A and B are shown apart, each in its own frame.
Chain A
Amino acid sequence: MLNVQSLSKYYGKKKVFDDLSFTVHEGEIVGLVGENGAGKSTLLEIVATLEQPTSGELYFHDKCYSKQLNTLRRDIGYVPQEISVWDHLSVRDNMRFFSTLAWKKRSEDELRNICEEMNVYAWNEEVSTLSGGTKRKVNLAISLIHEPKLLLLDEPTAGIDLKSKQEIADYLKRLAIRDRVTILYISHDMDEIMNLCDYVFTLGEDPFYETYLTERGQGMVSLTKQH
C-alpha cells in the first residue's frame, strides 16, 4: 500500500502542490490527470524517490521514504516519459545491460519472457529500427526487470498507435491482478485512463477533468480539493 501524507512541493516560493494526501492499495491501478503544470510528473518523481518533497511523508508497505530510501527503491519501477533505452543496442542487449545493473539478476530466458508478454519479439533487433510502440514496450519492460511492487509510469504510451496502447494496458492489468503490483499512471488520454484505471486522481485547479470523469461515472478523487 502506498500512503502519502500531507505532501507539499515548492520550488523556492513557487508552489507546485500543497498538502496532498492519498492512499493506493496493493494491486490497484490509479490514474493521475490534470492540466499541464499541475505537478503530475513532480508528484510521480517524488513517489519514485527522484525528487524530495518540501514537506510531508510517504510510506510504501510501511517503509518510510525518508528513512529507508535504498530498500524502497528495490520495490519501485519507474517508466520515464522519454524512451530511456540505448538506441544503438538490440532489445536483448538493452535488457541484459539493465539486468546486469539490477538488484535482482534475471536469466536471458526470463528477460525474453518479459518482452514477449508484451508482444515484443524483435529480440535481436536494434532499438533504433523499432516502431514507436515497440520502443515504448521495451521502455516498460526494462522497468520490470527487478520485479517492482510499485510501478510508476509517466505517459508511457505517448505518441503510439492504438494497438500498442491496448497491449500495454492489457499487460499492466495482468500485472496488477496476477502480481499484485500497485500502479500509478500519468496520461493525457482520458479514454485510456478510464479503460485501465480503478480510479483516478485529479490534480490542479481546473475543474475540467473532474467534470469529465464524473459525467462518465469514473471513480475519482480530487487531490487538490480534498482539503
Chain B
Amino acid sequence: MIETVQTRLILLKKQPFSHLFWALFPLLATAFVMIQVANVEEDYQIPVGIVVEDDSMLVHELLADIESTPHIEPVYVQERDGLRQVEMHELDSLFVVRNQYTDDMERGKRNKLITSYYTELSFAYVPVREMILSYVQQDFTRNETANRIEQLRNEYRIQEKWDKTELIERSREIEREQHLIDVTLSFGSKQSVQQEVTPFISPLLMWALFTFFGTAMMFDWLIKEKHPAIMKRLPFSNVLPERYFFSNVLLYTVVLLFFDFVAVLLGAIVLDEKITFSLLLNVFSFRLTINSLLYVIGRVIKTTYVYYIVTFIMTLCFLLLSGIIIPIEPVIERFPFVTYVHPLLTLQTEQYVNVLFIISIISLFLLYRRKKVEFNA
C-alpha cells in the first residue's frame, strides 16, 4: 500500500488541484445548490387572491393563518377585480370568504364557507386549497369543541362560567406553545410536521448525486493510466496491472471516505441534524457502491470519451430517478426494488446494501481472474 501511495503522489504531482477540486466538489456543489434553493424559496411567493366579505375575529384568525404560511402571498382584492387577475394569471387562484362565514361556523354549518376560483394554469391551487381547508377545518373543530363544552356545562349545571372566546383563545395558545399542527406548503416532497420549512431538495440526495459525478470525473485516471504499453511494464514489477488498479481504487476509497465523513459532519452541523451510526454506515456503503461500480466501468471501457458519455448518462439517470426533479413515489410504490438498485435511493432509504455493489464485486472478481490469466500471473 505504501508503494501505491508513493506512485499515486508522483502521478498527482502535476495535477493536484483537479483531484482536490473533484474531492471537494460534492460538498461545495451541494452547499451552492442548497443556498440557491433557499434563496429562491425565500423569494418565491405564490400570489393568492383573498376576498373578505365577512369581518369577525374568526375571519381575522383565518387570514392570520394564511399570512403566516410560507410561500403564500395573500393579495386582498374585490371579487370582480380578483377574478380578472386570475383570468390574467396575475393571481394563482382566488378564495372568497363569504359574509356568512362566521354565522355558519357558529351554527355548525361547513358547506360553502369559502368559494374558490382557479384556471388550468393555477399550479398551486390544490395545495393552497388544501391548506386553507385545513385552517377552516381547524377553526370549525375548535368552535365546535367550545360549543360542546358550553353545552355540557349547561347540561350538568356547572356553576363555573367559561367564556367561549376564552376557550378558543386557550386552544390557540396550546396550539402555538406545543406546535400541535404545522402545515407547510410543499410540492412533490412529503409534508413536514416540523416547525422548519422542509427544503424542496434533500441535501443528502443532492450530495450523493454530486459525489457520484465528482468521483466519476476523478476516476478517469482508470482509463488514462490504462496505457497498453505501460501495462506491459507492470508484469516485470512488484505489482501486476489488476493489483495496481485495485490498490489505487482502495486508496481513493479511503481518502474519499474521509471527505465523505467531513461532508456528513459539516452537513449535520449546518442542518442541525444528528449523526447516527446508521447514517455513517449508509455513507460507507454508498461510497463502496459507487467506487466499485466506477472501477468496473473504468476497467471495461477503453477510451475516456466513451467513459465520460457513460458516466454522464448514468448521472442523468440517477438524477431523474432520484426524486430531486420529479416525484418518484409512484415508481417506488410500483417497483420497490428500485431502492435497491439506485445507489442514491439506497442511501436515502437506509437500505445499506445496493444490488449494483454486489454486481460490481462479482464483475471485479471475474475481471481480476481474466486479467490474471491474461498476464499469466
What are the residues of chain A within 8 A of B234 when measuring CB–CB? 101
> With A and B bound together, what is the CA distance between A146 and B339 in angstroms?
51
Question: In chain A between 57 and 89, which residues have their CB closer than 8 angstroms to a CB of chain B?
Answer: 69-70, 73-74, 76-78, 80-86, 88-89
A50 on the interface (CB 8 Å rule)?
yes
A142 touches B232 (CB 8 A): no
What are the residues of chain A within 8 A of B88 when measuring CB–CB? none
Contacting chain B: which of A14-22, A92-100, A162-170, A195-203?
A92-100
Question: In chain B between 200 and 256, which residues have their CB closer than 8 angstroms to a CB of chain A?
Answer: 227-230, 232-239, 244
A102 on the interface (CB 8 Å rule)?
yes
Contacting chain A: which of B4-12, B154-162, B355-363?
B4-12
A97 touches B14 (CB 8 A): no
From residue A41, how far is it (CB to closest CB) to chain B in Å? 11
B375 on the interface (CB 8 Å rule)?
yes
A89 touches B236 (CB 8 A): no
What are the residues of chain B within 8 A of A89 when measuring CB–CB? 10-11, 13-14
Chosen A-B contacts, 11 in total, with CB atoms closer than 8 Å, are A50-B232, A50-B375, A78-B233, A84-B233, A85-B230, A89-B13, A97-B10, A97-B11, A100-B3, A101-B239, A143-B236
A103 on the interface (CB 8 Å rule)?
yes
A102 touches B229 (CB 8 A): no
The interface on chain A, measured as residues whose beta carbon lies within 8 A of the other chain's beta carbons, has a size of: 32
What are the residues of chain B within 8 A of A102 when measuring CB–CB? 237-238
What are the residues of chain A within 8 A of B236 when measuring CB–CB? 48, 73-74, 76-78, 143, 146, 148
Main secondary structure of the interface of B (DSSP, over half): helix
B377 on the interface (CB 8 Å rule)?
yes
Residue of B nearest to A146 (CB): B236
A52 on the interface (CB 8 Å rule)?
yes
> With A and B bound together, what is the CA distance between A52 and B377 in angstroms?
11
What are the residues of chain A within 8 A of B178 when measuring CB–CB? none
B237 touches A78 (CB 8 A): no
Q: A76-B236, A84-B227, A84-B232 are in contact. Are A93 and B377 (CB under 8 A)?
A: no
A103 touches B238 (CB 8 A): yes
Q: A98-B237, A101-B7, A101-B239 are in contact. Are A69 and B232 (CB under 8 A)?
A: no
> With A and B bound together, what is the CA distance between A103 and B240 in angstroms?
12
B10 touches A100 (CB 8 A): yes
What are the residues of chain A within 8 A of B228 when measuring CB–CB? 82
A3 on the interface (CB 8 Å rule)?
no
A101 touches B3 (CB 8 A): yes
From residue A69, how far is it (CB to closest CB) to chain B in Å? 6
From residue A86, how far is it (CB to closest CB) to chain B in Å? 7
Task: Please list the residues of chain A having a beta carbon within 8 angstroms of any beta carbon in chain B.
Answer: 48-50, 52, 69-70, 73-74, 76-78, 80-86, 88-89, 93, 96-98, 100-103, 142-143, 146, 148
Question: In chain B between 256 and 287, which residues have their CB closer than 8 angstroms to a CB of chain A?
Answer: none
> With A and B bound together, what is the CA distance between A98 and B239 in angstroms?
10
Q: A88-B14, A96-B10, A101-B237 are in contact. Are A82 and B229 (CB under 8 A)?
A: yes
B39 on the interface (CB 8 Å rule)?
no
What are the residues of chain B within 8 A of A52 when measuring CB–CB? 376
From residue A66, how far is it (CB to closest CB) to chain B in Å? 9
What are the residues of chain B within 8 A of A86 when measuring CB–CB? 11, 230
Instruction: Please tell me which one of the listed residues B10, B229, B239 contacts residue A80 in the complex, with CB atoms under 8 A apart.
Output: B229
B377 touches A69 (CB 8 A): yes
> With A and B bound together, what is the CA distance between A121 and B358 in angstroms?
51
B233 touches A98 (CB 8 A): yes
Name the 6 nearest CB pairs between A and B, nearest first: A84-B229, A82-B229, A101-B237, A100-B6, A80-B229, A97-B10
Residue of B nearest to A102 (CB): B237
Residue of B nearest to A65 (CB): B376
B376 touches A69 (CB 8 A): yes
From residue A98, how far is it (CB to closest CB) to chain B in Å? 7
A103 touches B233 (CB 8 A): no
Question: In chain B between 337 and 377, which residues have their CB closer than 8 angstroms to a CB of chain A?
Answer: 375-377
From residue A42, how far is it (CB to closest CB) to chain B in Å? 14
Q: A49-B376, A69-B377, A84-B227 are in contact. Are A100 and B7 (CB under 8 A)?
A: yes
> With A and B bound together, what is the CA distance between A69 and B240 in angstroms?
13
From residue B11, how far is it (CB to closest CB) to chain A in Å? 7
From residue A126, how far is it (CB to closest CB) to chain B in Å? 8
> With A and B bound together, what is the CA distance between A88 and B227 in angstroms?
13
From residue B18, how far is it (CB to closest CB) to chain A in Å? 12
What are the residues of chain A within 8 A of B232 when measuring CB–CB? 50, 78, 80, 84
Among A69, A74, A101, the one with the most B-chain Cβ atoms within 10 Å of its Cβ is A101
Question: In chain B between 127 and 185, which residues have their CB closer than 8 angstroms to a CB of chain A?
Answer: none
Per-residue interface assignment for chain B, residues 1 to 32, with 1 indicating a CB less than 8 Å from any chain A CB and 0 otherwise: 00100110011011100000000000000000
What are the residues of chain B within 8 A of A80 when measuring CB–CB? 229, 232-233
> With A and B bound together, what is the CA distance between A97 and B248 in angstroms?
14
